[in-house]
Amino acid sequence: MHNEFPIRTSDQLSGVLQAFRKESGLSQTEVAKRMGLTQQKLSHLERNAHNVSADRVLKLLSVLGVELVLRRAGASWSVDTNGKDHPW
């Protein structure tokens, strides 16, 4: 799997979430248990990412060992020379 996945639509997010879970070797049941959900709820989350809270998506990413990085489209990530790794 690649390192970066630009997401521009909720459909893309759904596919990437499923791909990360499968790549991790975890079943929906295993991930759901770690999140305190039923397998059916996790399946719904994966298929309908556009209807899921950011909180729940972030929890899923954490279980999968994936981080969310936001950047401007077309920009590359770089570390500020003052030791800061963010623009603010």
State the pLDDT at residue 86. 45
33 occurs within a structural domain: yes
Per-residue pLDDT band at 83 (split at 50, 70, 90)? low
52 occurs within a structural domain: yes
77 occurs within a structural domain: no
Q: State which residues form the domain around 15.
A: 10-64
85 occurs within a structural domain: no
Residue type for 39, please?
Q
31-74: pLDDT as tens digits: 999 999 999 999 999 999 989 999 999 999 999 999 998 888 87
**Tally of structural domains, the chain:** 1
Average pLDDT for residues 6-16, to the nearest whole number? 89
3 occurs within a structural domain: no
State the pLDDT at residue 82. 54
CA distance 63 to 29: 13
Contacts of 42 (CB under 8 A, 6+ apart): 28, 31, 32, 35, 60
pLDDT at 4 exceeding the cut of 60? yes
pLDDT at 84 exceeding the cut of 60? no
| 3-class DSSP state of 22 | helix
49 occurs within a structural domain: yes
